[in-house]
Chain A
Amino acid sequence: MDITALLFASYADVLGRDRVQLALAPDATVADALAQILALPGGEQLPPQPLVAVNLAYARRDHRLRAGDEIAVIPPVAGG
């Protein structure tokens, strides 16, 4: 299945883009999506287990993805 991952702030800077198209197996998890993102050029500058959101909510690494999900890799938040 195809899933778009959104990238923000420092992570978008080091990966040189603010979204990436992923081709994942039908039973893929957040960890599988992260593995593809971390393998991109610049991905080595991300922490090994960054925060991830699926459909606007924080998700664990074993969260099962579905076609059409919106996944986002969340750099350390700094609001306020």
Chain B
Amino acid sequence: MRGALTREPLDPQRILAEVADAACGALILFVGTVRDMNDGRAVTGMEYSAYEAMAEREMTLIAAETGERFGTAHVVIEHRLGALALGDASVAIAVAHPHRAEAYGASRYAIEQLKQRVPVWKREHYADGTREWVDPTRAHQEVLP
């Protein structure tokens, strides 16, 4: 049960191995990657930054909440920071549960919470040489205690 940031390439297989448990018949690995297109613009790369201490705290809280809500002790969330190329993994979430319904639920819950709450930002680089901070407009709501 943990959440962490890293500047190294993510290793989804290692994260999946970390949650594996003979008592768990369902393992789910979610990997988010850098897409080549956003809002109709050709993307050439992405730069991730964070309020690191808070991001790690929120990711750890989300892992714990996911575990409590879906009844598993096996949740690992890792997010990468720095300059990423197209196709690179930016986030990886592994969960394990005795049964698939809860495993799918836990995986979905963890990534949706991460996108709403974890203070990570990304700046897209475009084919025309410009770059912009990504602003998912809904992020202003739903996070207050």
Contact = CB atoms under 8 A, between A and B. Distances in A.
Contacts of B116: 77
Top 5 closest A-B pairs, CB basis? A79-B120, A76-B139, A9-B121, A10-B133, A78-B134
Interface in A15-63: 47, 50-51, 53, 56-60
Contacts of B108: none
Interface of B: 32, 48-51, 53-55, 57, 79, 90-91, 111, 114-123, 133-137, 139-140, 143-145
A62 B135 CA distance: 26
Contacts of A79: 48, 50, 55, 79, 90-91, 114-115, 118-122
A60 B55 CA distance: 18
B57 to A, nearest CB: 5
A74 B32 contact: no
Contacts of A56: 53-54, 57
Contacts of B134: 78
A76 B90 contact: no
Contacts of B118: 77, 79
